[in-house]
Chain A
């Protein structure tokens, strides 16, 4: 079933059609939320919220770009909003990769710390750079899909991505040096 047919079926009250959408997109949406938030619990929570929000507003889907990209945009916005509501904490993030038994705990800790730095650096970007970087790297969407979903010219999306990466570079380099 294509996106338009799926949306039409959902609007006709077909819950199974929406289940199709959830099963098709759940992994991508969940991963994007996890990459933004860093905590599996929060990621599942926000991903579920995003699906419910998409269900409620699926009548506003205009067919610009893939339905999965439209959903990803909702999810990334929700995730960044949730991230902004978090209180700063000094505890070790619970999303540290556990690694294989016997792996070096220092290396595991350093890797987890690096992930956190990348995540926070992206979250600290201004819009529209943050959205484009997040959709491209965390949502794993192509630049053409981002252009369709955001209704911006492809060259504009490329420019936003380039500028976003240019702003990320000094932050990440500084963290590495530290």
Chain B
């Protein structure tokens, strides 16, 4: 175990520590003595009076994992744990409740339809929705869109009682709701209010196809 002289690079020492290291090295060189020849016999004489040492708790716990046989045991345990983990992962879909992940997706899609309620489209509304809401056929189409009921609950503007159900969908898209702009009803309304530029572009900007169709009508 002799490691002399000490190399300052071992510990990235600064140059100004070299004299200190030299002092220590000199001390080591001057104090290299050996024990008495019978030192080992005396130690063994003292050890003979001692009881056989017991294994420590750590040694008992670690014994199955040490040595070549221990490594094999450790490897086998690791493989077994991995297999068990794979099996448990395979059983997860059965173990977990089945309704996890079946969230009703329409709800998020409703929110965007609520946001755009351009006030500009109010002026054309009274004429066209009036004609549509007269016929009872408007309500069946609304019933088809089940989320429409929730739209009413969330406090969409209710200017009048009777056309309210149809206004949620046909209101903003009054100009082009029938043209299939149902989903993007808001932008459709916007398209209606700006007649000529959005028409020329057709699918331009926010107005989208619905907007163009609405203005054409």
Q: Which residues in A have some Cβ–Cβ distance to B below 8 Å?
A: 4, 10-11, 13, 15, 18-19, 22-23, 26-28, 30-31, 34-35, 40, 43-44, 47-48, 51-52, 55-63, 68, 97, 111, 114-115, 118-119, 122, 133, 136-143, 145, 158, 161-162, 165-166, 168-169, 172-173
Asked, given contacts A26-B43, A97-B30, whether A55 binds B50 with beta carbons under 8 Å apart, the answer is: yes
Asked, given contacts A23-B40, A48-B42, whether A137 binds B6 with beta carbons under 8 Å apart, the answer is: yes
Q: B3 → chain A, closest Cβ, in Å?
A: 5
From 118 to 167 in chain B, residues with beta carbon under 8 angstroms from any chain A beta carbon are: none
Q: B6 → chain A, closest Cβ, in Å?
A: 7
Q: Give chain B's interface secondary structure class.
A: helix
Bound-state Cα–Cα, A172 to B27, Å? 12
Q: Is the CB of A165 within 8 A of B20?
A: yes
Q: B138 → chain A, closest Cβ, in Å?
A: 76
- Enumerate chain B residues within 8 angstroms of A31, measured Cβ to Cβ: 31-34
Pick 19 A–B contacts, CB within 8 A, sort by A: A11-B52, A11-B53, A11-B55, A15-B47, A19-B44, A23-B40, A26-B43, A30-B34, A52-B43, A55-B53, A60-B58, A118-B24, A137-B6, A137-B28, A140-B1, A141-B1, A143-B11, A172-B19, A172-B20
Q: Is the CB of A40 within 8 A of B33?
A: yes
Q: Is the CB of A138 within 8 A of B20?
A: no
Q: Give chain A's interface secondary structure class.
A: helix
Bound-state Cα–Cα, A43 to B52, Å? 26
Q: Is the CB of A30 within 8 A of B17?
A: no
Bound-state Cα–Cα, A85 to B50, Å? 25
Bound-state Cα–Cα, A31 to B59, Å? 30
Bound-state Cα–Cα, A60 to B4, Å? 31
- Enumerate chain A residues within 8 angstroms of B25, measured Cβ to Cβ: 137
Q: Is the CB of B30 within 8 A of A115?
A: yes
Q: 5 extra interchain contacts, Cβ-Cβ under 8 A, other than A115-B27, A118-B27, A168-B24?
A: A23-B40, A141-B3, A165-B17, A169-B16, A173-B19
Bound-state Cα–Cα, A123 to B27, Å? 14
With CB as the reference atom, state the residue of chain A lying closest to B13. Answer: A162
